[in-house]
Amino acid sequence: MSNFFLNLLFPIKCLGCERTGEYLCSDCLLSVPLNESSAQIKNINLIAAVDYHHPLIKKAIHNYKYNFIQELAKPLASLMVRRLAIEITTGENTVLVPVPLHPRRLRWRGFNQAELLAKEISQHSNIPVADCLIRKRYTSPQMKIQDAFKRKINIQNAFQLKYRPAEEIILIDDVSTSGATLEECAKLFNREVRALVVAKG
């Protein structure tokens, strides 16, 4: 009931065109161009669905992560699904591995944005989600650190494997800037992995 009255007082509007009913309408989503190329960083083939500097994407990601609008997982994941279909060949031996949050940050945000994206992608692609990583050390937010070397130091040894999947791995996160977080996750698998993000900053 509380959500019903909140929607009456503050109706949901598209972040792009302000059409009521959803945070990102299908027309605005289709207006965002998909990236056509991928990037190789160490042992990762990194695929970013769209450009982070697109005004609508930047606004959507900010609202998703810092205004805690979980409903944005669905439209953002739809961009990843479209990009996934172009770039990545998947089979029965593929799993999606979301980058985990530290329990302290998970309590603050209330949800893991990478996990929600992975679950949405899984629903559309039938690729299972593997909860095989944990974040064992609390770190400062990477977005607040400008220096690439300091980013690497900040995230170093922050993750741990619960188990090593035998399947091919696609790491899932919302944004990659320097790639340090994805690199730190990938090195635990001791093999080349792929990564799919909404955008690269």
For every residue of 26-66, which 3-state class applies, written as one string? HHHHHCCCCCCCCEEECCEEEEEEEECCCHHHHHHHHHHHH
Closest among 151, 130, 128 to 141, alpha carbons compared: 151
Q: Where in the chain is the domain with CATH 3.40.50?
A: 34-200
- Tell me the DSSP string of 84-108: HHHH----TTEEEEEPPPPHHHHHH
Confirm if 35 and 82 have CB atoms less than 8 A apart: no
Tens-digit pLDDT profile for residues 63-101: 999 999 999 999 999 999 999 988 766 667 899 999 999
Low-confidence ranges of the chain (pLDDT < 50): 1-2, 4-6
What pLDDT, on the 0 to 100 scale, is given for residue 19?
Answer: 93
What pLDDT, on the 0 to 100 scale, is given for residue 83?
Answer: 94
Q: How far is CA 76 from CA 30, 102, 141, in A?
A: 12, 22, 21
CATH number of 34-200: 3.40.50
* Per-chain mean pLDDT for the chain: 90
Q: To the nearest whole percent, how much of the chain has pLDDT over 70?
A: 94
The model carries a pTM of 0.90
What pLDDT, on the 0 to 100 scale, is given for residue 41?
Answer: 84
